[in-house]
Amino acid sequence: MQTQLEFKTRLYSYPKYGVGLGVFEEEEELTDEAFVIVCQRKNEDEGIENHTAFLWKGYNFDPSEIKEEGDKVAKSEEEFKQKVMREYWGPDYKNMGIEEREEEVGEESDDFLSFFD
């Protein structure tokens, strides 16, 4: 039986893939310069039918402008995406049928925006 913590939605902000936030607010995380991934586990008891990764980039996101160093810091967008998924879902994430949903600025889905209520 999975615990509530195992189903907890997490937000990851580029380039740090090892730090998933469990509580977040739109104004703080969805800036013009941000690239975030919100990961949500499948939970049929709650009506969530798929593992989902919501990908959102601000209008002015430019990875070349971000000069962060240290552990669990990605060097590219693709590396960030892959590392986040491994961090959240585990090493077998590629076989889990994770749905990737790209969210457009100003046209975000209700599913995505519901994380920021």
For residue 87, what are the CA distances in angstroms to 11, 18, 64, 92, 106? 12, 7, 23, 10, 28
Q: What pLDDT, on the 0 to 100 scale, is given for residue 7?
A: 64
Q: What pLDDT, on the 0 to 100 scale, is given for residue 65?
A: 85
Give domain status of residue 113, yes or no.
Answer: no
Give domain status of residue 110, yes or no.
Answer: no
Name residue 107's amino acid: E
Q: What pLDDT, on the 0 to 100 scale, is given for residue 29?
A: 82
Provide block-wise average pLDDT over 10 residues at a time, the chain (117 residues). Answer: 63 90 75 93 86 96 85 91 95 95 95 87
Is-cis flag, bond preceding 15, omega within 30?
Answer: yes
Please tell me the pTM assigned to this model: 0.87
Residue recorded with tokens 């693709």: 78
Output the domain CATH number for residue 99.
3.40.20
Structural domain count, the chain? 1
